[in-house]
Amino acid sequence: MTPAEGARTATRQGRRTAKTEPPARKRPRRPDLKILATYTFRGPNYWSYEPSIRLLVDLGNLEDWPSNTIRGFNAKLLKALPGVGEHSCSLGKVGGFAARLADGTWLGHVAEHVALELQRESGAHITRGKTRGAGTPGQYNVIFGYAEEQVGLAAGRLAVRLLNHLVKAEEGFDFPAELEALILLAERRQFGPSTQAIIDEALGRDIPFIRLNEASLVQLGQGKYQQRIRATMTSKTSALAVDIASDKKMTNQLLAAAGLPVPKSEVMRTEDEAVAAARRIGFPVVAKPLDGNHGRGVGLDLRTDGAVRAAFKRALAQSRDGRVVVESFVAGSDFRVLVVGGRMVAIAERVPAHVVGDGKHTVAQLVEKTNQDPRRGIGHEKVLTRIKVDDAAVELLKKQKFPLGSVPPKGQMVLLAATGNMSTGGISIDRTWEAHEDNVEIAEEAARVVGLDVAGIDLLAPDITKPVREAGGAIVEVNAAPGFRMHTHPTEGEPQFVAKHVVDLLFPPGTPSRIPIIAVTGSNGKTTTTRMIAHIFRGMGRDVGMTTTDGIYIDERLVRRVDASGPKSAQMVLQNPRVDFAVFEVARGGILREGLGYGHNDVGVVLNVTGDHLGLKEIHTMEQLAAVKRVVVEAVPRSGAAVLNADDPLVLAMRGSCSGSVILFSMVEGNEVVERWIRRGRKAVVLERSSRGEMMVIKEGRRTMPIAWVHTLPSTFDGKARMMVQNAMAAAAAAHAAGAHLHDIRQGLRTFTTSIYQAPGRLNVFDLDGVKVILDYAHNAAGLEALGDFVERLVSEGGSSSRPGEASWAANLRVGVIATAGDRRDEDMRELGRVAARYFDEVIVREDVRPRGRKPGATATLILEGVEEAVAAGGARAGSVEIVLNEMEAARLALDRSRPGDLVVLCVDHATEVFGELEARRGSASPQGLAPREHGSLEAVGGDPDLLDV
């Protein structure tokens, strides 16, 4: 979203103020604009589809001072940052923001535009931003895009400081110096021009990238399809070839052996050896580090022993292994031939940094004038680099008899660098289409001889249009990881799109770069649905990467025990070179904190939206919570699909936010929306009921595709676990949308169980010496309601177990251990207690280890109040309720009180620890769906015991 689209709220307020306030008043009492909180979003998020930064700012007393009421503010801002006045803003034309300033707009809105302009000054081209009121008077959400995270954050902080300074001068604040520091930060942090060119080309082909370090190591593509680059070195670059190219003597020998023109050269370690070598080779000569780059330490056209000695010292200082190459000097222009995949793709003539005399100004003044060229910047910030006058430049000026204070004659070219490197201030002229074909062939052969997939061949020749074997010239160097800037942004001539050839090399036409991604969100059922989907695709032979609140799994192996429902965990999966399919559980917290960890998901699943998490992170209504979860739907591309619960109005409404197709699922018989949806030829997963039971089917127009009888799916407990039926329907729809065959979906659902191994803490059922025990993660009222409904169905409908050898489900006493997170609203905690009172005879209230901002016992007390309210109102089952804060102690108390025929429901946070307690108590009984154990030990059960510790 552009600033023109984004700041309409603040702009409308500015217009209103402009009509009611005088054009200017006295200055505000103090400039107290400040940042209250900062959030960095690395993917699609609640505020934007693109990576962005959110600053929660407080204007303080400046809330009463729009931009047009602060005397001199607008003029000083436009003087400090002239470019900000060119922003289009809401007027949709150049200069629109300057008009908005004149009309009057809030300083939060101004901070957004200043942050964008500061990034532009540092070399980025970002236009996305918006400003919205935060609900509290004087507070605003300032959202703006960024190219590099740290630079974007620094730009936001500097924007706030600058605005405060313009309101009232801050002693010691030097904006030009601060801006220079920001540019230097960008130079260190942002990608160089070569890396950025490859990334831009990849993004143009919808190839995603992940930055792997703070330098230029980048992953292109995802999972098993990934390729890596570091600057212009790629996954296909041979380490041996890089070593050869770094050894100039070895390179020279190999090229000479291949019959390619190269200068005579020798490698020396001392000054005396270098002088002797120069005499043998014959003056003039060149001295350069054996393993140098970027032209550092290179001495050219050395004609005396003294010049060789001085050049040797400079070269030795740049050599890592203490050796210096002395070679014959080849006269001619300096050409860089870029070879990618064995083919020439660009040629540039490199002209060293220089000034041209005008007969009036000194060399120093001419350098300063040249550096004022807007195309020149610090390092790689712009297409040209500022000329730097260092000791080597001063020495070269003396050699030309033009010291810094001298005035060169008009038209006199004065060199300030010996080599034509862009990094030292040189310029480039494109010669791609002028080179003689023999010279092109020589360069291509040199790249093949060294073995580089991307090579920069330095060729000295008097005329590139004539064969060097006839006109003279030689290959003086072969470079690994050559820079692209001279080709993509030549000073003269046509730019060459060389990155295209690198991306072609890494991803030939038809080669995939993305792995399928299914994202699952909702208030309840996310983890189980995620596991079901992953189980289906593992059965199809896919190497599945999965993230859940239990941890990160790669091909069924737990690689990290952590709540992995956020963006960083998703990126860990996408970086794994083994994964060819990803299933992510996406939680509300991760979306609000950092956004999604990827650009888009092929399938987005939304299960439900309930009141859990309201009151957290500025989300106060169900509609706002639905908007957060809708991010997963908005991240679906045109080729993808969203799977939505048609029985939840908030989820159903998300269908209009999906760019791709939509598959609905519904457990409600006769849902009118779903029936219309199917009649229009769209897909839905529904239940068809008959005397034999419920059949899960996919319907599309008149076509019906049966999946399975619900009672045949182990996870549904003969269809009594209605929340599991819903999860299975969502999993089936998601798998179908991702291309799974009906047979594979059917097989996956029929083999998925809610055992402690496949779904720890998700409806794990045990028979403990006649006592039925259920472990579940239910932690909110809606989840506990679904769990209570399951218990009622088991007891009232089940009577006796349908599984051979299992005890009856007719419970004498129902004991429930319940808890919720401490950051939930007081009313949500009381509601949890009310629900528990309806389903359990005895209620034990515990607390999680992390109180999340509450004092120990505070959460449990509120739940207790809910239980007591329900009992007082009448109609509740609960006969007793007590608080036992520790989870394990609460579980032990419930188990101690139970007798054969009782039912104990343990709402757990640490499922495997509680499971260990059950193992210690059990006799010969075994968990539902598992083989009996000989000694009741974890190791006696099939599977990896490590998988339990989640």
Instruction: Give a three-class secondary structure readout of 704-727.
Output: EEEEEEHHHCHHHCCCCCHHHHHH
Cα–Cα distance, 689 to 705 (Å, whole number): 15
Lowest mean pLDDT among 562-566, 603-607, 763-767: 562-566
Q: Read off the pLDDT band of 27 (50, 70, 90).
A: low
Whether 18 shows a pLDDT value over 50: the answer reads: no
- Give the type of residue at 764: N
Residue 561's pLDDT is 87
Chain segment 625-661, per-residue pLDDT in tens: 999 999 999 999 999 999 999 999 999 999 999 999 9
Residue 800's pLDDT is 42
Tokens of residue 922, six digits: 């059990």
Q: Read off the pLDDT band of 924 (50, 70, 90).
A: very low
Whether 933 shows a pLDDT value over 50: the answer reads: no
Residue scoring higher pLDDT (717 or 18): 717
Residue 950's pLDDT is 26
Residue 395's pLDDT is 86
Residue 28's pLDDT is 67
Write the CB contacts of 896 (distance below 8 Å, at least 6 apart in sequence): none
Cα–Cα distance, 776 to 800 (Å, whole number): 22
- What are the residues facing 517 on neighbouring strands? 582
Average pLDDT of the chain to the nearest whole number: 89
- Give the type of residue at 369: K
The arithmetic mean of pLDDT across residues 837-865, rounded, is: 93
The arithmetic mean of pLDDT across residues 578-584, rounded, is: 97
Residue 937's pLDDT is 30
Residue 801's pLDDT is 44
pTM above 0.95, yes or no: no
The arithmetic mean of pLDDT across residues 693-708, rounded, is: 96
State the pairing for strand pair 233-234/343-351: unpaired
Whether 274 shows a pLDDT value over 80: the answer reads: yes
Residue 19's pLDDT is 41
Distances (CA, A) of 260 to 432, 437, 482: 21, 15, 20
Residue 391's pLDDT is 86
Tokens of residue 334, six digits: 């300096």
Q: Read off the pLDDT band of 720 (50, 70, 90).
A: very high
Q: Read off the pLDDT band of 852 (50, 70, 90).
A: confident
Chain segment 201-230, per-residue pLDDT in tens: 999 999 999 999 988 899 999 999 999 999
- What are the residues facing 607 on neighbouring strands? none
- Give the type of residue at 268: M
Tokens of residue 651, six digits: 């989820």
In the sheet with 842-845, reading across from the earlier edge strand, the strands are: 764-768, 771-776, 903-907, 814-818, 842-845, 880-883
Tokens of residue 294, six digits: 């970027």
DSSP E strand stretches across 846-899: 880-883
Residue 620's pLDDT is 85
Whether 582 shows a pLDDT value over 80: the answer reads: yes
Chain segment 232-244, per-residue pLDDT in tens: 999 999 999 999 9
Tokens of residue 876, six digits: 């509740």
- Give the type of residue at 898: S
Residue 655's pLDDT is 96
Residue 29's pLDDT is 63
Residue 479's pLDDT is 95
Whether 945 shows a pLDDT value over 60: the answer reads: no
Cα–Cα distance, 863 to 853 (Å, whole number): 16
DSSP string, 784-800: HHHHHHHHHHIIIIISS
Chain segment 83-133, per-residue pLDDT in tens: 999 999 878 889 999 999 999 999 999 999 999 999 999 888 899 999 999
Q: What are phi and psi of 29, to 5 degrees?
A: -60, -40
Residue 5's pLDDT is 38
Rg (CA), the chain: 35
What residue spans of 30-95 are helical by DSSP H?
73-80
State the pairing for strand pair 603-606/641-645: parallel
Lowest mean pLDDT among 22-36, 363-377, 721-735: 22-36
Q: Read off the pLDDT band of 926 (50, 70, 90).
A: very low
Residue scoring higher pLDDT (722 or 384): 722
Residue 798's pLDDT is 55
Residue 923's pLDDT is 59
Q: Read off the pLDDT band of 380 (50, 70, 90).
A: low
Nearest to 199 by CA among 212, 190, 208: 208
